[in-house]
Structure 1
Amino acid sequence: HRLPLPTYPFERQRYWIDAKSPPTSVKTKSITLDHKQDIADWFYTPSLKRSLLHKSSFYPIKSTQENWLFFVDDLGLAKKVIDALTKQPVNIIIVQQGEYFSKLSEGIYTINPCISEDYNTLLKELRTSGQNPEYIAYFWSVSHIENCQRGNYLEFNSLLFFMQSLSKLKISDRLQILVVSNNIQEVNGNEKLDPEKAAILGLCKVIPQENPNITCRCIDIALTNRRDAEKGQEDCESNIIDQLLDELTSVSSDMVVAYRDRYRWVQTFEPVRLESVANEKTPLRKQGVYLFAGGLESIEVVLAEYLAKTFQAKLIFIEDSTFPEKDDFSQWLESHTQEDEVSCKIQQLLALEKLGAKILVMRADTTNYEQMSQNLASENIRQINGVIYSTGIKRANIFGSIPEIGKIELQKLLESQLCKITALEQVLQNIKLDFCIIFSSLSSILGGFGLGLYSAVNQSIDTFANRHNQNNDFPWYIINWDKLQLNTNQEKTTLEEVSGSNLAITQTEIVELFKRVFSLREGTQIILSKVDINARKNYPFSLDSLANSTSTNQLNLSSQYSRPSLSNSYVAPKNELEKQITEIWQEVLGIAEIGIYDNFYELGGDSLIATQLVSRLRTKFPVDLPLRDILFEAMIPAKQAEIVEQLLLEKIEELSEEEVAVLLL
């Protein structure tokens, strides 16, 4: 089997003391991703290329025991695919949107897409009747854009609820999910892009990364196109039906696909070599005025320092109305810790002023266009030369697995981010700029273990900015940054350990990359990666990898490695629960003797093994282990045992006597 990599592949070399092979946890077909030494080769632009489905990729329908679950759209597209599929010997289950859960007839259900409990009821019903789904066709992302209800994020929420229900029921069978959508992918430039709907694409990328038994593919279609008038609507729909049927019944590694007319397109990323640019050949001006619309965030401060030192620029930061006035800075710093977020921003402001920078801090609700416009007018700002905008979302703050994502959390975050960038677009309409740059994350491209919400929000921002570039004469730059190596607190440092810190972009590199983007004639989307982005994207998550690790990692002690020298002494497990957890650690790390206070990262753990560890713990114990706590606060067996024990005690009334007997020996 090929080894699945997490979103941010690590390249750390591991050197073992003796000449034996590496542990089974990392012993598979060798995969390397070369770090590109030349910074000019770190740039990519998103693209779609023509592709064909080969006959060899189609699989035969096995028997009537195959269960196909269809979430059918209101436009009738899914029903036409079902009509075509019924010619095959399969069992089809239909789910329609309704006000409440109901079984209309055999194999036909309605659920309220906004009520998570309905998904639980549906899956329990299917399990009881022996109809666990093997193939999911999700058509609830197909709708006419003018009919979409703004702000309810139905597409994302309904798929999220379904995945959370799967997790609650501990369904570990293989599943194939095909998400059919429209208004998400830009192929010919004429599509009406929907940033709200596009959030589902971020979720789809994370689903198979957190669930190795699931594949999830996205197929974007066009409901109308230029050829409709020539061919007739019926012929066009027939094409779409055939195309979707082909995708449903094929095994393909193409995770993001779009169909336009009769052509199939797959997502790819084209390398763009951008050479170094002299300061005077950028649009950056001496004593220019630059607006940091997202406030004093980490990457903005790095660039603000560069602009202040090199161009003696005037810097404008927009903070919210609660940010203290300059006269109150000293009092704030005295009454708050250095780690306080506002204290950090004040210290950064003071450091910029020491460089001689002219700084203006505006206080405004960045979701409110009128308030932002009034503040700019009241400050008598006659000219803004450039705008740099970042969402300000700290991925460490919203890090969590799919079962941990809350509906309210999602809606608040998505709504606030889309309101902010919408307000910014309105504010900038009548301002003549040299440039506007929107900062996004590589997670919208690659997803990431524990980054479902973060990926979804950044995907929405990308889609919004690309829609702006479709409809405006002055296009924005969109930069999808890889991880950044900045001054961070311990929590963020731990997150970098989980996701592979060796790929992080340094502060010096941030400035150089920023300058090189200006060598492009006009604004566009640019993706940054120190290793080949297509190689990172295309490493598949094998359906069998973690499932098989259960058996392949049952190592003979003679083939495991001795416990390395650590900062703490070895302490043996004191109870059965600690013993079970240390055994899982020993299996995934390939180390024969692990103590309950040994640190995962000191033992040589990395992002791939962390993914396997969490998966194994969740398989072993029937509780919802909080990913954030497990990876950040409990990377020693003793702490993990405490968390598991507490969760088991909370859930013990729900468990059967057999489960209790097995888990609490």
Structure 2
Amino acid sequence: STVLGLLKTIPQEMPWLSCRHIDLPIADVEVNSSYIWQELWDVSPDLEIAYREGKRLVSGIETVDMTSAPQQELPFKQGGMYLLSGGLGGIGREVAKYLLEHYQARLILVGRTPLDEVSDKIRAYQQLQQLGTVTYQPVDICNLEQLQSVVSEVISEWGVKLDGVIHLAGVLHEQLLLAETEETVAKVLRPKVLGTWALHQLLKDNEDGLFIHFASVNGFFGGMSVGAYAAANSFQTAFCNYQKTHSCLESYCLAWSMWDEVGMSRGYQMKELTRAKGYYGISPLQGMYSLLAGLSHGENNLLVGLDGSKAMIQAYGEKCENLQQLTGYFSAATSKVKLPEWLVYDRFGSPSHCQWEQLEVMPITETGEVDRDQLMGGGVGERTQPRNETERQLAAIFQEVLGVSSVGIHDNFFELRGDSLKMTQVVSRVRETFNEELALSWLFESPTVAKLSDRLAPTGNGSLSLAQQLQTASKNQENREEIEL
């Protein structure tokens, strides 16, 4: 299961490398060999395939209607005792506060390090203590003996059993796969793999125990520069399924898109890319509401915070409401009766009906092409044209690589369907044009012509040179710490 997140990251970082995961049944060698041979010749973009009863199955997602009536009571107990790993992170505080206020719960918060007297965490801990019974214990969640010792002491003191675990802890580490080492990968996998297993051991014999996993959608989709993190989260999602089928625990896994400057997402460099791919930013309060909705509807595995209008999400089967209308325009010189009732299929095979509109005059650009921006309702007026030679050169590079007729200085590279391969092409051409050593990560952080132009600005204008900025970014990356969710 861990390899799935890693495998789905590979083509995002190395588009030239094709790979897929094939889940074969227990069958004759000849049968399974035929399945493998079929996959070798299959040109679909499917990355995760399973064969069952002669049928080829692919992984996908479907929408859950959270507006319907709740299907069950929330699984929390009045006065119950719950252990929260990473409980003093942004969303962890919201969960702890809710349990204290609404269920008078007793909480064991565990974290990697002791609390600093002046830190934000100690203040959050003191505020939670005012709401009810809470203790914080600095403990390695991967060390089962330490966990058992802490829980045993608290049980003796409070006189109640452990009713549930909410696992929020994790480590986000940004690194391209080719630059990863055994140590950096192990550091990311540890809390999600070993930590999950150790926490499971604490609770596995509790017949009515509750285990809630907080994971990331990267476990399902993979993610540029977060391959190890994606692998860790794909394990956590799969382990939730294991708990449901091999234990007596009530287990749920909520995989979140991206926290809005909270916990591990604070300072995350790929936010522009993740938004363009279809990941909404989630506030702690929104996260809390989503948690309660998911639990009340009995959904054991949820992906939370996805934008169904984005191509990547739709490719996995997500069908959002029909918010866009395909419209075809023709001039007065063309007879409408000559136009057939076209049925257009999108890249995912979904049919889209075309609505025709007749114009007196077809708008044309200076280059003689149809002005699509004007047809779409005035986009040209909102688009800011390049203001100097640097912006003009960058805009030209964007246009050529992206295959578009016009690029404004504030147009987002990723929203114009830029991908990892096109990123490499842009960076290469910027290096050639400006004779600058441009790092690939700068396009993530500066995905518009205007922002990229600022980073190429000379030092004399009050901005750092590109070399200085790269050095600063490198130091910032080295100084990033593990933080709790």
**Fold agreement, TM-score > 0.5:** yes
Alpha carbons of 1:362 and 1:593: their partners in 2 closer, same or farther (altered >3 Å)? Answer: closer
| Contact 1:257–1:264 (CA under 8 A) maintained in structure 2 | yes
- 1:528 correspondence with 2:304: yes
**Could you say which residue in structure 2 is the equivalent of 1:383?**
161
Per-residue CA distance 1:219-273 (angstroms, 9 max, x = gap): 2224xx3xx6xxxxxxx00111111111112323433111246443222334444
1:232-251 aligned within 5 A: 236-251=28-43
For the residue of structure 2 that corresponds to 1:436, the secondary structure is: strand
- 1:435 correspondence with 2:238: no
**Could you say which residue in structure 2 is the equivalent of 1:631?**
444
Alpha carbons of 1:474 and 1:392: their partners in 2 closer, same or farther (altered >3 Å)? Answer: same
Aligned amino acid, residue 417 of structure 1: K
**Could you say which residue in structure 1 is the equivalent of 2:260?**
485
Distance 1:384 1:241 in 2: 48
**Could you say which residue in structure 2 is the equivalent of 1:504?**
281
**Could you say which residue in structure 2 is the equivalent of 1:264?**
56
Q: Name the % identity.
A: 23
Distance 2:317 2:295 in 1: 29
Alpha carbons of 1:281 and 1:476: their partners in 2 closer, same or farther (altered >3 Å)? Answer: closer
Distance 1:644 1:400 in 2: 20
**Could you say which residue in structure 2 is the equivalent of 1:346?**
122
Per-residue CA distance 1:152-195 (angstroms, 9 max, x = gap): xxxxxxxxxxxxxxxxxxxxxxxxxxxxxxxxxxxxxxxxxxxx
| Contact 1:387–1:435 (CA under 8 A) maintained in structure 2 | yes
Distance 1:312 1:287 in 2: 5
How far is 1:461 from its partner? 1.8
How far is 1:422 from its partner? 1.4
Alpha carbons of 1:527 and 1:633: their partners in 2 closer, same or farther (altered >3 Å)? Answer: closer
- 1:514 correspondence with 2:287: no
**Could you say which residue in structure 2 is the equivalent of 1:371?**
146
Pick from 7, 17, 24 the counterpart of residue 221 of structure 1.
24
| Contact 2:401–2:426 (CA under 8 A) maintained in structure 1 | no
Alpha carbons of 1:486 and 1:432: their partners in 2 closer, same or farther (altered >3 Å)? Answer: farther
Alpha carbons of 1:400 and 1:250: their partners in 2 closer, same or farther (altered >3 Å)? Answer: same
| Contact 1:305–1:352 (CA under 8 A) maintained in structure 2 | yes
Unaligned runs of 5+ in 1: 1-197, 229-235, 334-342, 543-554, 595-599, 648-665
How far is 1:518 from its partner? 2.9
How far is 1:556 from its partner? 6.1
Aligned amino acid, residue 178 of structure 2: P
For the residue of structure 2 that corresponds to 1:413, the secondary structure is: helix
RMSD value, Cα: 4.2
| Contact 2:165–2:203 (CA under 8 A) maintained in structure 1 | no
Alpha carbons of 1:405 and 1:315: their partners in 2 closer, same or farther (altered >3 Å)? Answer: same
- 1:614 correspondence with 2:423: yes
How far is 1:489 from its partner? 9.8
Aligned amino acid, residue 137 of structure 2: M
- 1:200 correspondence with 2:11: no
Distance 1:294 1:490 in 2: 14
**Could you say which residue in structure 2 is the equivalent of 1:309?**
101
Distance 1:344 1:483 in 2: 22
Distance 2:264 2:456 in 1: 22
Aligned amino acid, residue 209 of structure 1: Q
Pick from 171, 185, 188 the counterpart of residue 413 of structure 1.
188
Distance 1:279 1:313 in 2: 23
**Could you say which residue in structure 2 is the equivalent of 1:476?**
251
How far is 1:372 from its partner? 0.8
Distance 2:72 2:2 in 1: 39
Distance 1:279 1:242 in 2: 43
Aligned amino acid, residue 314 of structure 2: A
How far is 1:563 from its partner? 9.7
**Could you say which residue in structure 2 is the equivalent of 1:537?**
316
Alpha carbons of 1:462 and 1:272: their partners in 2 closer, same or farther (altered >3 Å)? Answer: same
Distance 2:43 2:259 in 1: 36
Pick from 97, 114, 118 the counterpart of residue 323 of structure 1.
114
Distance 1:563 1:375 in 2: 60
Distance 2:114 2:446 in 1: 30
1:134-153 aligned within 5 A: none
Aligned amino acid, residue 535 of structure 1: Q
For the residue of structure 1 that corresponds to 2:136, the secondary structure is: strand
Alpha carbons of 1:556 and 1:393: their partners in 2 closer, same or farther (altered >3 Å)? Answer: farther
| Contact 1:563–1:593 (CA under 8 A) maintained in structure 2 | no
| Contact 1:288–1:311 (CA under 8 A) maintained in structure 2 | yes
**Could you say which residue in structure 2 is the equivalent of 1:290?**
82
How far is 1:318 from its partner? 0.2
Aligned amino acid, residue 468 of structure 1: Q
| Contact 1:308–1:357 (CA under 8 A) maintained in structure 2 | yes
For the residue of structure 2 that corresponds to 1:448, the secondary structure is: coil
Distance 2:218 2:13 in 1: 14
Distance 1:640 1:240 in 2: 54
Alpha carbons of 1:490 and 1:201: their partners in 2 closer, same or farther (altered >3 Å)? Answer: closer
Alpha carbons of 1:593 and 1:541: their partners in 2 closer, same or farther (altered >3 Å)? Answer: closer
1:51-200 aligned within 5 A: 198-200=1-3
How far is 1:305 from its partner? 2.2
Aligned amino acid, residue 384 of structure 1: L
Distance 1:260 1:370 in 2: 41
Per-residue CA distance 1:26-75 (angstroms, 9 max, x = gap): xxxxxxxxxxxxxxxxxxxxxxxxxxxxxxxxxxxxxxxxxxxxxxxxxx
Aligned amino acid, residue 99 of structure 2: L
How far is 1:436 from its partner? 1.1
Q: How many residues align?
A: 394
Aligned amino acid, residue 281 of structure 1: E
Alpha carbons of 1:314 and 1:571: their partners in 2 closer, same or farther (altered >3 Å)? Answer: farther
For the residue of structure 2 that corresponds to 1:463, the secondary structure is: helix
Distance 2:3 2:183 in 1: 16
How far is 1:276 from its partner? 6.2
Distance 1:366 1:359 in 2: 18
How far is 1:409 from its partner? 0.9
Distance 1:624 1:457 in 2: 33
Distance 2:16 2:179 in 1: 19
- 1:299 correspondence with 2:91: yes
For the residue of structure 1 that corresponds to 2:42, the secondary structure is: coil
**Could you say which residue in structure 2 is the equivalent of 1:185?**
none
| Contact 2:170–2:191 (CA under 8 A) maintained in structure 1 | no
- 1:467 correspondence with 2:242: yes
How far is 1:374 from its partner? 0.6
Distance 1:564 1:271 in 2: 34
How far is 1:200 from its partner? 2.5
